[in-house]
Structure 1
Amino acid sequence: MVLVFVLGSAAAIRKARKGEWWKAGAIFLPGLGMVVMLLGGVERQSTSLFWLGCLFVAAGFGADAMAYWRTRTLGRGQVGP
């Protein structure tokens, strides 16, 4: 669990240094959510830490969607005659 979080954090830092903030959030937030969910206990799904972890994972997927959307719209503006 710690190794996945450390490697995800390192990859997110590398993306953030390049200025790719949405991609950094898409990498970091699901890893953070996994750690929070496992700290809260996956077997008891009514704990607040479990739901906080789910929120972090969902925010990571949202950041990934936003990074994809920004890539598509920026690429569309550059193509032209």
Structure 2
Amino acid sequence: MRIMIAFMALVFVLGLGSAVVKARRGRWWEAGSVFLPVLGIDLSLLGGVRWEAPPLFWAGVVLALAGFGAEGYSYWRTRGGEREQEPASR
């Protein structure tokens, strides 16, 4: 159990550090896409992984999905910006 808690704390600290760096650069969607899944996975592990899971598990799942959605939106915004700039250079 102590190893699981230490692992969760390490993942949380690394994810938080990465999110802070991205947020300081003004990339808020990327910061959310890093931090929300990390927070969600940590909450899911605290809630326990089983079919009849407590609300803490489901809150973690929702946060993880929101983070992956933010990551997809951030990727879509950066790819969309490149497509719009290509015809202008011709």
Deviating above 3 A after TM superposition, structure 1's stretches of 4 or more consecutive aligned residues are none
- Counterpart amino acid of residue 62 in structure 1: G
Partner of 2:49: 42
Partner of 1:61: 68
In structure 1, runs of 5+ residues without a counterpart are: none
Pairwise CA distance, 1:44: 5.5
Which of 28, 31, 34 matches 1:24?
A: 31
- 1:39-59, CA deviations, whole angstroms, 9 ceiling, x for partnerless residues? 212236431111110001100
**C-alpha separation in 1, matches of 2:10 and 2:79:** 32
**C-alpha separation in 1, matches of 2:56 and 2:49:** 9
Partner of 2:19: 12
In structure 2, runs of 5+ residues without a counterpart are: 1-7
- 1:19-52, CA deviations, whole angstroms, 9 ceiling, x for partnerless residues? 1111111100011001111221223643111111
